[in-house]
Structure 1
Amino acid sequence: MFIEKLMVAYMDHKANHIYYLDRTEQVILLDAIEPDGRPNLEFLDADEPERFIEIPKVMNVESFSWMVEFESHHQNSELLHALNEDEPFERFTEKVIKLDLLEKWQTFQKDKVKTRIEHWLAEKELLEMQKQPD
């Protein structure tokens, strides 16, 4: 369940949301950006700067590469065409729904996000948190 929560934070596209992993408590914290564009960060502890790690967000280039890979598995000209249109993320989603591939796309995307989060945990030497219960 902990991995799923990290996955949600990773996929949150809201620009004013910043997620942090509290290494000590092993919980995920959400910080909202102030109106002046600065993070709120009330929970950060200056005495323990290593305690909180910002959770990365998915980048558009990464999401786009997943769409390209998904299309290559399905070899569908409509999906390929959607990737080359204006607003490819929206067009791709529309085509996936139209072609009744939404469940396959969501499973594919979830697997990609899970792998990315597992790599991130390994990079940060936090693999023990993968086994963290809810």
Structure 2
Amino acid sequence: MLIDKLMVAYMDTKANHIYYLDKNEQTILLDAIDPGGLPNLEFLDLEEPERFLEIPKVMNIESFSWMVEFESFHQNNELLHALNEDEPFKRFTEKVIEFGLHEKWQTFQKDKVKSRIEMWLTENKIKEIQKQPE
């Protein structure tokens, strides 16, 4: 489904990847930044500037707040300590795996991302994303 692809684009943290939603075709396009640091944007249609909408990327502060919220649900001091260490994202992930919470964390995170993408679609007045065959 398109919403799943939007979620993947949202979670892609590679700095040289910029994703766009083609609102007419309901597809996602990737524009990798060239070595000079500029987007390629070859697919953008100058006659229809509203057709392509840049998909936002998850921000570290948002991901961190999800980890804090997840820890508060599980009341695990080890997870809390991991959030206060150097490299909190790495340490948190290690502790989630160590305590057998990885599947719960993935489900929690997926729910947060889906909610965020749905909010983004609403903010941009994209009322309906048609279900497409995979």
> What do the CA deviations read for 1:38-97 (whole angstroms, capped 9, x no partner)?
001000011111000000000000000000000000000000000000110000000000
Once the two structures are TM-superposed, the CA of residue 2 in structure 1 deviates from its matched residue by 1.0
Taking the aligned partners of 1:50 and 1:3, their CA distance within structure 2 comes to 20
Contact preservation (8 Å) 1:118, 1:127: no
Taking the aligned partners of 2:111 and 2:132, their CA distance within structure 1 comes to 20
Contact preservation (8 Å) 2:70, 2:108: yes
Tell me, yes or no, if structure 1 residue 124 matches structure 2 residue 124.
yes
Q: Report the identity percentage.
A: 76
Partner residue of 1:47? 47
Partner residue of 2:132? 133
Once the two structures are TM-superposed, the CA of residue 127 in structure 1 deviates from its matched residue by 2.3
- Residue 101 of structure 1 aligns to which amino acid in structure 2? L
- Residue 2 of structure 2 aligns to which amino acid in structure 1? F
- Mind listing any 5+ residue stretches in structure 1 that lack a counterpart? none
Contact preservation (8 Å) 2:13, 2:57: yes
Tell me, yes or no, if structure 1 residue 65 matches structure 2 residue 57.
no
Please report the TM-score for the alignment, with normalisation by the length of structure 2: 0.97
Count of residue pairs brought into register by the alignment: 133
Contact preservation (8 Å) 1:44, 1:52: yes
